[in-house]
A and B are shown apart, each in its own frame.
Chain A
Amino acid sequence: MSKIAALIAREIRAQVYSPVAWIVWTLFLFLAGWMFVGIVHQFLEIVENTTAYAQYMSNPELLERVNLNELVVSGLFSNLLVLFVFLIPALTMRGFADERRQGTDELLLTAPVSPGQIVAGKFLGLVAVSEVLVLGAAFYVLVLLHYGDPEHGPIATGLLGLAIVVAALTALGFAVSTFTKSQVVAAVGSFVLFLLLFVVNWPAESAQGAVRELLLGLSLPAHYDGFAKGNVAMGDVLYFASLGALGLFAARTTIASQRWR
């Protein structure tokens, strides 16, 4: 256990000492802020228009349909998902690729730690760094809570969903970084993989039967929708858990097979 703790601490230290993590966090805050401001302005416009329309129709109930949760919170969270596709590969690309390039894999693989412990330590360290992005997202939610009155339930599940997505993508990105010595290859590889999870359902419209179901079932944003709306389904949790488990299993297998080359 203390070996895993040492690996976690080393991973966090390596990430925080390198400029990459800081650049990614900063870019995320900037882009998320930009999206947030845009979405809030859009919301205000809708409120204004609806107010005028409600007065014209003498029907104040119309205003109640304009929902802060649906329009702002859920909209913001869905857009953040797209940011993860671009930014998480930058955090996970060091992963194991850099160990290989620096030769430090020889240190890890000749120390009395199992491949499973290496994966656990490095993954948990990486997750600690990438979950900072979700803390950044939570900041904008606090702004909303201060000035508006959104429902708390969907906000909580939405943030939880973001944290789960970040963990799953980090596991997959780490797995990709175990396949190569090059950080660039690792970054591009995970980016393409993540993007594929976003567009995998596009041909579903023209497909039929089981293929259609499969393509729809693999889509990442479709499985996040429930979280953003406040209803967490077992299937969605299982989907992200499977992605994460697949990533960690692949990473462990590659690291364990290193000795047998």
Chain B
Amino acid sequence: MIEVRGLGKRYGDIAALQDVSFRVERGEIAGFLGPNGAGKTTTLRILSTYLTPDTGTATVAGWDAASRPMEVRRRLGYLPEHPPLDLDSTVVEYLGFCAALRGVPRAKRRAAVSAVIERCGLASVAGRLLGNLSKGFRQRAGLAQALVHGPEVIVLDEPTVGLDPQQILEIRNLIRGLAGDHTVLLSSHILPEVAKTCVRAVVIHRGRIAADVAIDPAAGAGALEETFLRATSLEDGAAVASGGAGA
């Protein structure tokens, strides 16, 4: 569903990504882990077609993100690092616009918007201006925007950043509920977050894949933490072989 092969991207002299490859299978929720500045956002931006890679390919829902961006965009829900909200719109107006922009037919738009408002817990603020909402509600509106058109593939850049523990729990449940119908890739630098939501974790460090492991729910966050710390403390070029982080 998501396949990344040999991805490379430079910003001037800085190599943001080097030979990044990983796969996320249909219906799977995968975590994309890495310290700040490791290349998570750049990778997700390439998957979302916002940027193009210098080398390698990113395939989303069977289409190449660089050469067939429109096909990818039709099938993709994307929450960028900063939720792209129209701060002077109400929640309903904004989501209605997003649905229209993603090609939800007029007749189905109202239902799609109400459903996603319900799902993301935005009912109490549906008529309020986004600019007047708290960070938690804004984050949920950003998530709602990524879901409103029922995309096959969902890419979320740090979906729980800035939320309180209660909100994190709610968003986590929401994301887990997406498994099966949707393929989800979410980035985070919070380990327990990934351990509790995802079935697999891809660790990126200094623009390279440092580990790609299955998560054993029984083992909890501790085992993943060990893998993460080992992977991110290795010298460039070395990588942890695939294996059970919980083993």
Does B associate with A? yes
Chain A interface residues toward B at CB < 8 A: 2-3, 5-7, 9-10, 13-14, 17-18, 102-114, 258-261
A interface footprint on B52-69 (CB within 8 Å = 1, 0 otherwise): 100000000000000001
Which of B100-108, B162-170, B228-236 lines the interface with chain A? Answer: B100-108
Contact A10 B70 (CB under 8 A): no
Contact B80 A113 (CB under 8 A): no
A102: which B residues are within 8 A, CB to CB? 84-87
CA distance A49 to B106 in the complex (A): 65
Contact A107 B74 (CB under 8 A): no
A113: which B residues are within 8 A, CB to CB? 101
CA distance A3 to B101 in the complex (A): 5
CA distance A148 to B73 in the complex (A): 59
Q: Does B88 sit within 8 A of A, measured CB to CB? A: yes
**The one of B84, B87, B103 that contacts A3, using a Cβ cutoff of 8 Å:** B103
Contact A6 B50 (CB under 8 A): no
A102 vs chain B, min Cβ distance (A): 7
Count class of interface residues, chain B: 20 to 34
Given A2-B106, A259-B49, decide whether A10 and B84 contact each other with a Cβ distance below 8 A. Answer: no
Given A17-B88, A104-B86, A111-B102, decide whether A259 and B52 contact each other with a Cβ distance below 8 A. Answer: yes
Contact B51 A259 (CB under 8 A): yes
Contact A103 B82 (CB under 8 A): yes
B154 vs chain A, min Cβ distance (A): 12
CA distance A10 to B87 in the complex (A): 12
Residue of B45, B49, B84, B101 with most chain A CB atoms under a 10 A cut-off: B101
Q: How many residue pairs, one in A and one in B, have C-beta atoms under 8 Å apart?
A: 77
Q: Does B76 sit within 8 A of A, measured CB to CB? A: yes
CA distance A112 to B76 in the complex (A): 9
Given A107-B84, A259-B49, A261-B51, decide whether A114 and B101 contact each other with a Cβ distance below 8 A. Answer: no
B103: which A residues are within 8 A, CB to CB? 3, 112
A interface footprint on B90-109 (CB within 8 Å = 1, 0 otherwise): 00010001101111001000
Q: 4 tightest CB-CB pairs across the interface, nearest first?
A: A6-B100, A107-B84, A112-B73, A103-B82
Contact A106 B93 (CB under 8 A): no
B47 (CB) vs chain A CBs: closest residue = A110
**The one of B52, B82, B83, B86 that contacts A10, using a Cβ cutoff of 8 Å:** B86
CA distance A102 to B70 in the complex (A): 23
A110: which B residues are within 8 A, CB to CB? 48-50, 73, 76, 78, 80
CA distance A18 to B145 in the complex (A): 23
B163 vs chain A, min Cβ distance (A): 18
Contact B88 A259 (CB under 8 A): no
B82 vs chain A, min Cβ distance (A): 4
Given A2-B100, A13-B93, A18-B88, decide whether A109 and B80 contact each other with a Cβ distance below 8 A. Answer: no
Contact B52 A260 (CB under 8 A): yes
Q: Does B21 sit within 8 A of A, measured CB to CB? A: no
A237 vs chain B, min Cβ distance (A): 34
CA distance A112 to B106 in the complex (A): 16
**The one of B52, B69, B84, B89 that contacts A13, using a Cβ cutoff of 8 Å:** B89
Contact B102 A112 (CB under 8 A): yes
B97: which A residues are within 8 A, CB to CB? 6, 9-10
Q: Which of B1-54 contact A (CB under 8 A)?
A: 45, 48-52
A interface footprint on B172-189 (CB within 8 Å = 1, 0 otherwise): 000000000000000000
B88: which A residues are within 8 A, CB to CB? 13-14, 17-18
Contact A111 B101 (CB under 8 A): yes
**The one of A103, A259, A261 that contacts B69, using a Cβ cutoff of 8 Å:** A259
Given A110-B48, A259-B52, decide whether A7 and B101 contact each other with a Cβ distance below 8 A. Answer: yes
A3 (CB) vs chain B CBs: closest residue = B101
Contact B101 A6 (CB under 8 A): yes
